[in-house]
Structure 1
Amino acid sequence: MTAARRRPPTAQEFVLSELRRAILSRELRPGEPIRQDALADRLGVSRVPLREALKVLEGEGQVVYRPRCGYKVADLSLDDLLEVYLIRRLLESEAVRQAVAKLTAEDLAALAAAQQEVEKASETQDVAAMAEANRRFHFGLFERCGMPRLVRLIRLLWDATDAYRSLYYGQHANRARVNLEHRAILAALHRRDTERVVRLLEEHRNHAVEELSKVIGSAEDKPAAGLR
């Protein structure tokens, strides 16, 4: 991680942003311990904002704390993935149904621009940039629902699954599929076909769950080292 980036307004926000980026880029991998002293020195901050940022991530389920062991990046869990995506389906479908009719020409142009950034990052295999642009694409739609509490809940679920998203984007076939699905969603949005958008987003989530389930399920089935 580097402290040379333009810092957000507070030290805690800066640290939180850097930790999110490190988890998303898999610089900090699932199950890896977080060495607070070394990390604080590397970021040029005290332990206080680092601890506060870790508490935020703990609340999201991105890191876990164990007494006498400290913090570590949360392990990937198939049960966790399935639960989050079930809740996302319920919340996002409602947000989309409320949002589509409210989209302006400017909103559609912004969504198209976000998708161009998704495709650009996909071509260069920049997983972190692709994830950021993907978030702008989806939330550019969700935020038009006019229900800020609903959007906050959806954002919390997204924050909790960055590690899964980065794993999904690591494969070329998955990146290509995301681009095709986004283009279909954009076309349906231009036609104001609300129920088709809902269906396409359902397929979009399902494809991610199917692919991630193969990887995570396989990892969970492996015996621990030294066991038979």
Structure 2
Amino acid sequence: MTEDRGRDVGRTAARVIEELERLIVTGEFLPGQPIRQELMAERFGVSRLPIREALRHLTAEGLVRHEHNVGYTVARLQQSEFDQIYLMRAALEREVLASLPRFTDDVLAEVRRIGDTVTAAAERGDILEMRMRNQVFHFAMFEQSPLNLVVAELRRLWTMAMPYHAAYLYDATVRQRVVAEHDLMLEALAEHDNDRLIELMNLHRHGGETSTGIMLRATRTSAD
């Protein structure tokens, strides 16, 4: 009976983790916003136990922060933390892309198909869908790497920075550039030119890092 209850709590906590992460990544919950356990329990129709489990997990992942006598809030990145995320991304993505095998025709076709969904979202100005599909596009490549632990850490880093990327894509010129860079990456993948792929990813990442960093600094200045 106790084991069954533990499994039920675990499954419920997993569902709550997924939903809370979605709320944070999509921007429905903003950086610095309090997360009230009783309100979340009511919203998800669960007890407070799986809510606490989910919040502890998301705190360990860096999406949520806990302060004694204050409670849980959505993590608000400092500029130095944001810079470190991109520093680690640069190092890990280089290793992952260098380790990619030659893609089969089926895998390459799937990555192209996902790229088309990013393009479609960009063309209709659906910023949220573009952000979400953009991550799917990149991890469709990354997950072909044998470096599974590195890829898992990359996913955590991407997720931590995701709430800050929305403003970057409101510029139609930026959306067009992102799509064009994806097309060049697909060409490099088709040719199994991993060195070229790394160069393109560095350029691609730099655009997001620079624009999002400017936005982050502006937000911090306004708050101050």
The TM-score normalised by the length of structure 2 is 0.88
> Residue 219 of structure 1 aligns with which residue?
219
Q: 2 CA distance for matches of 1:156 and 1:106?
A: 27
Please report how far the alpha carbon of residue 138 of structure 1 lies from its aligned counterpart in structure 2 after TM superposition: 1.0
Residue identity (%) = 33
> Residue 20 of structure 2 aligns with which residue?
19
- Secondary structure of 1:65's counterpart equals strand
> Residue 113 of structure 1 aligns with which residue?
113
Alpha-carbon spacing, 1:51–1:167, altered in 2? closer, same or farther (3 Å): farther
Please report how far the alpha carbon of residue 178 of structure 1 lies from its aligned counterpart in structure 2 after TM superposition: 1.7
1:178-193 matched pairs, under 5 angstroms = 178-193=178-193
> Residue 62 of structure 1 aligns with which residue?
63
Please report how far the alpha carbon of residue 125 of structure 1 lies from its aligned counterpart in structure 2 after TM superposition: 3.7
> Residue 207 of structure 2 aligns with which residue?
207
Q: 2 CA distance for matches of 1:73 and 1:29?
A: 7
Q: 2 CA distance for matches of 1:141 and 1:130?
A: 17
> Residue 46 of structure 1 aligns with which residue?
47
Q: 1 CA distance for matches of 2:183 and 2:152?
A: 25
Alpha-carbon spacing, 1:20–1:223, altered in 2? closer, same or farther (3 Å): closer
State the AA in 2 paired with 1:120: A
Q: 1 CA distance for matches of 2:126 and 2:210?
A: 22
Structure 1: state its 5+ residue gaps. 1-8
Deviates more, 1:73-82 or 1:207-216: 73-82
Alpha-carbon spacing, 1:37–1:78, altered in 2? closer, same or farther (3 Å): same
Alpha-carbon spacing, 1:160–1:120, altered in 2? closer, same or farther (3 Å): same
Residue deviations 1:119-148, cap 9 Å, x none?
222334434432332222111111112121
> Residue 140 of structure 2 aligns with which residue?
140
Residue deviations 1:45-76, cap 9 Å, x none?
11111111111211121111111111111113
Q: Is the CA contact 2:122–2:130 (under 8 Å) kept in the aligned structure 1?
A: yes
Q: Is the CA contact 2:25–2:159 (under 8 Å) kept in the aligned structure 1?
A: no
Q: Is the CA contact 2:143–2:151 (under 8 Å) kept in the aligned structure 1?
A: yes
State the AA in 1 paired with 2:107: D
Please report how far the alpha carbon of residue 176 of structure 1 lies from its aligned counterpart in structure 2 after TM superposition: 2.6
1:71-90 matched pairs, under 5 angstroms = 71-90=72-91
| Count of matched residue positions in the alignment of Structure 1 and Structure 2 | 215
**Segments of 4+ in structure 1 off by > 4 A?**
none
Residue deviations 1:124-173, cap 9 Å, x none?
44344323322221111111121212212212212222212334334434
- Secondary structure of 1:75's counterpart equals coil
Q: CA RMSD in A?
A: 1.8
